[in-house]
Amino acid sequence: MCVSEAMSHCCANRGLRSHLSSPSRPGSRKLSRPRHYSYRVDHDLGFAPHVEGNFCTVCGCKTTTIERWAKKGSWVVGIGGRGTGKTDALIYAMKVEKTPSYRRFQASHGTRAAYPAGHQIAADAPVLCSTHFYYFGDHAPTLPPTLSRIIHTTQGCKRISDRDIVRLQKLVLNHYRRGKHGEPNNAC
Alpha-carbon distances of 54 from 50, 87, 138, 180, 188, rounded to whole Å: 11, 26, 18, 8, 22
What are the helix (H) ranges across 45-187? 66-69, 102-109, 162-171
Please determine, for residue 137, whether its predicted confidence score (pLDDT) is greater than 50.
Answer: yes
Choice among 19-33, 71-85, 119-133 with the minimum mean pLDDT: 19-33
Other C-beta atoms lying within 10 Å of the C-beta of residue 64: 18
* DSSP H or E run through 51: strand 50-52
Q: Where are the domains of the chain?
A: 41-180
Strands 128-130 and 55-58: antiparallel
100-129 pLDDT, tens digit per residue, is 998 899 898 877 778 777 788 888 889 999
- The reported pLDDT for the residue numbered 55 is 94
- The reported pLDDT for the residue numbered 93 is 97
- The reported pLDDT for the residue numbered 4 is 34
pLDDT category, 76, cuts 50, 70, 90? Answer: very high
What whole-number distance in Å separates Cα of residue 103 and Cα of residue 93? 25
| Mean of per-residue pLDDT scores for the chain | 81
What whole-number distance in Å separates Cα of residue 12 and Cα of residue 22? 14
Give the three-class secondary structure for 185.
Answer: coil
The torsion angles phi and psi of 121, rounded to 5 degrees, stand at -100, 125
State the amino acid at position 88 in one-letter form.
Answer: D
Task: Find, among 14, 19, 150, 149, the residue nearest to 76 by Cα.
Answer: 150
**Is the pTM higher than 0.85?**
no
Q: Mean pLDDT throughout 133-162?
A: 93
173 and 95 Cβ atoms separated by less than 8 Å? no
